[in-house]
C-alpha cells in the first residue's frame, strides 16, 4: 500500500483535532466501550470490514474535510486510510502506531491525552489504562465502569463491561 493517509505523531494528531478534523475510530464497537478519543465518530460494527463500510457511509458527503483515523496499534488504520484515499477522501491522516504508541508519547513528553479511558488489547489483560477517566458503563447496573470481561457462558463469550 503506497497511497495511505499521512502518519501523525501524538502532537500533530492533537493539533489537528484542535483544528477541527473529524476523528474516526476504526476499531470494533466493543473496543470503544472503555476508551476513545474525545468527540470521535465511534463504530457500531462487530468487524473491521463492517466498520470501514459504516464510516464510509457516514462520511460520504465529507470527503474534502480533514479526517483522522485511529486504532489500537496502527495496522487497521493503515488499511482503512488507503481505502479512504481510494474512495476519494482528500485529507486523510492516521495515528502512527495507534493508541498504544500515542499513550507512550503522551507519557514520555508530558502531553495532554485527548484519548480518554482504557485501550482494549488482544491479550489476557483485555485493556491497558491510558487515563484515569472511566468512559464505560456497566451493562448490568448502569454505573460507570471500565472493567471488561468475557461472558462466563462458554457458548456466549460476549465481551461485557
Catalytic residues: 71
Cα–Cα distance, 71 to 119 (Å, whole number): 10
Where on the phi/psi map is residue 11: left (φ > 0), alpha (ψ -120 to 50), or beta?
alpha
With residue 122 as reference, give the H or E element that holds it.
Answer: none
Cα–Cα distance, 64 to 27 (Å, whole number): 23
Tell me which residue has cell 475510530. 25
Q: Is 115 exposed, middle or buried (0-12, 13-18, 19+ CB in 10 A)?
A: buried
The candidate with the shortest Cα–Cα distance to 92, out of 62, 114, 112, 53, is 62
Within 8 A by CB and 6+ apart from 158, the residues are 150, 151
Amino acid at each position: 500500500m503506497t497511497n495511505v493517509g499521512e502518519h501523525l505523531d501524538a502532537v500533530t494528531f492533537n493539533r489537528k483535532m484542535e483544528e477541527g478534523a473529524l476523528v474516526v475510530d476504526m476499531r470494533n464497537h466493543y473496543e470503544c466501550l472503555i476508551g476513545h478519543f474525545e468527540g470521535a465518530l465511534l463504530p457500531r460494527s462487530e468487524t473491521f470490514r463492517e466498520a470501514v463500510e459504516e464510516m464510509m457511509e457516514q462520511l460520504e458527503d465529507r470527503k474534502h474535510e480533514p479526517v483522522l483515523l485511529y486504532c489500537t496499534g496502527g495496522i487497521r488504520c493503515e488499511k482503512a486510510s488507503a481505502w479512504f484515499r481510494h474512495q476519494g477522501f482528500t485529507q486523510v491522516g492516521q495515528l502512527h502506531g495507534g493508541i498504544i504508541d500515542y499513550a507512550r508519547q503522551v507519557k514520555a513528553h508530558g502531553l495532554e491525552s485527548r484519548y480518554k479511558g482504557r485501550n482494549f488489547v488482544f491479550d489476557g489483560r483485555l485493556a491497558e489504562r491510558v487515563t484515569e477517566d472511566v468512559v464505560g458503563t456497566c451493562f448490568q447496573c448502569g454505573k460507570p465502569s471500565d472493567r471488561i470481561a468475557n461472558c462466563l457462558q462458554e457458548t456466549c463469550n460476549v465481551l461485557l463491561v
